[in-house]
Structure 1
Amino acid sequence: MEKEKIIGILGGMGPEATIDLFQKIVKLTRAQQDQEHLRIIIFNNPKIPDRTKAILYDGKNPLPELIKTAQELEKAGADFVIIPCNTAHYYHEQIQKTVGIPILNMIQETALYIHHTLPQAKRVSVFATIGTNQAGLYQTYLNYFGIETLPLTKTEQEQIMEIIYGVKAGQDLNQLKKRVIKIAKLQTEKGTQAIIAGCTELPLVLKDGDVAIPIIDPTLILAQKAVEEATP
């Protein structure tokens, strides 16, 4: 009989997003009592340098700290790793080469989810950091399935960045929610058929049902995949 696997969460980018992923895993687990929940090792490492600054502005390289954190999770007994940070997936392959356990790819899983669950969505918007969007992290996987991405305007992208860093800074979530919904409605008017909340801070202020089209939550998709992977 296959044994239950231990989940490792490479967290801290940011801490609120890490909490959100953990809570979603707990809620998605079919458990009637404590002992039926999954074992999870969380390394909340907020000292990992900013990913967007590194990718675009020659900031401090986060890769050494990402590798070190993944290796610590492996040493602690994790059977696989998940990373609640979209932009960190820019380094996914490089981190994977340094550990002997799988690192699930949230961006790949999200593209697969849209392809299988929303086959009618052939044009989507990616609300993410400038680093994620300029690196084409989602676009690469979505293009594979013939899904077009509707680009954000420069102003919309700047506002999304302000909202993301506002969540990180603990600003009023209701005010941030109003701002992101306004951008979502503009994208809907331009013909987008779904919106990916492609930064792990965004599902805290943008949820399915907030606008007329589906809001895709990669954190939720990753949580579901982790539960499936860990459950015998």
Structure 2
Amino acid sequence: MLGVLGGMGPMATVDFLAKLVRATPAGRDQDHIPTLVCSAVDIPDRAAAILGTGPDPLPAMRAALARLEAGGATRIAIPCNTAHHWHAALQAGTGLPILHIVDAVAETLAETPAGFMAGTGTGGRIGLLATDGTLRAGLYRERLGRRGLACVGPDPEGQAAVAAAIRLVKAHRVAEARPLLEAQVRALAAAGCDRVVMACTEIPLALSGSAASGLLVDATEALARACVAACRDDADPLPRAA
């Protein structure tokens, strides 16, 4: 059973669940992945903690993980990019495998027509739309760098706009967030980025249906696809594509 450590934020968790359902090759209810969700909205702000302006969210994340484990989860997904700063600490405290969202994005990039193949060393410039905390932690820079990919974030003014857009989405003001994010997608493309990763699970909510969709990589969708692949490799009775 897939355990979803969610609530960071609640709309992003619902978006992940919808993408999980759409990514599953199912013909009936019983073909879907058994899923247990903990929408742990009490977890302190992850970006603030990384930036040193807020409390440590790890104890609350560990408590939510324990609830999922007690409920029968057999592997864990966390639909929050910034929370993966604590991935190693969470993994060290449980025997359940915790999928890593950046690894899921890396696999998606490797499947793109641009040919970002793992281990080729061919390189590529990847734009990042993310929280200040995700950028500060270097989550994408480190893991994608192993695959020969260079990560590029917005300039300081652009990053302030991204952070403001994320806050707007969390406040249910999605329409106001969209133009701010679209402007930064255009700026990253102009800076030579071949793909732009929506590396915050709030951002796809604002950029759904964007004219720049061919350039965008959805980290939430990548994680959902990775969960389906992992669960199909487990004992869950999921159908396999012909």
TM-score class, shorter: over 0.9
Query: Residues of 2 paired with 1:143 and 1:155: CA distance?
Result: 25
Deviation at 1:144, TM superposition (A): 0.7
In the alignment, the residues of structure 2 paired with residue 99 and residue 60 of structure 1 have an alpha-carbon distance, to the nearest angstrom, of 23
Q: Secondary structure at the match of 1:57?
A: coil
Structure 1: any 5+ residue segments left out of the alignment? 1-5
Q: Matched residues in 1 for 2:103 and 2:73: separation?
A: 21
* Secondary structure of 1:196's aligned partner: strand
Deviation of 1:115 (Å): 3.0
Cα deviation code 1:130-188 (max 9, x no counterpart): 000011110001111111112311011110000011100111x2232122111111211
Letter matched to residue 198 of structure 2: A
- The residue aligned with 1:217 is 218
Query: Structure 2: which 5+ runs fail to align?
Result: 117-122, 237-242
TM-score between both structures, scaled by the size of structure 2: 0.89
Distance (whole Å) between structure 2 residues aligned to residue 26 and residue 112 of structure 1 = 20
Q: In 1, Cα distance between the equivalents of 2:209 and 2:215?
A: 6
- 1:226 corresponding residue in structure 2: 227
CA contact (8 A) 2:43 2:60 kept: yes
Partner of 2:46: 51
> Contact 1:71/1:98 (CA < 8 Å) preserved in 2?
no
Amino acid corresponding to residue 13 of structure 1 in structure 2: M
After superposition, residues 102-181 of structure 1 pair within 5 angstroms as 102-117=97-112, 118-119=114-115, 122-171=124-173, 173-181=174-182
**SS at the partner of 2:207?**
coil
Counterpart code for 1:7 = L
Preserved contact between residue 13 and residue 85 of structure 1 (Cα < 8 Å): yes
Of 10, 19, 35, the residue aligned with 2:5 is 10
Provide, for residues 58-85 of structure 1, a one-character-per-residue CA deviation record: whole Å limited to 9, x for no partner. Answer: 4110000111111111110011000000
1:109–1:221 Cα contact (<8 Å) kept: yes
| 2:92 counterpart of 1:97 | yes
Give the aligned partner of residue 70 of structure 1: 65
CA–CA distance in structure 2, aligned partners of residues 210 and 109 of structure 1: 24
Contact between 1:207 and 1:217, CA under 8 Å: does it hold in 2?
Answer: no
Is the contact between residue 8 and residue 41 of structure 2 (CA under 8 Å) also seen in structure 1? yes
Distance (Å, rounded) in 2 between the aligned partners of 1:73 and 1:16: 19
Task: State which drifts further: 29-38 or 192-201.
Answer: 29-38
Q: Secondary structure at the match of 1:216?
A: strand
Query: How many residues are aligned here?
Result: 226
State whether residues 54 and 61 of structure 1, in contact with CA within 8 Å, keep that contact through their aligned partners in structure 2: yes
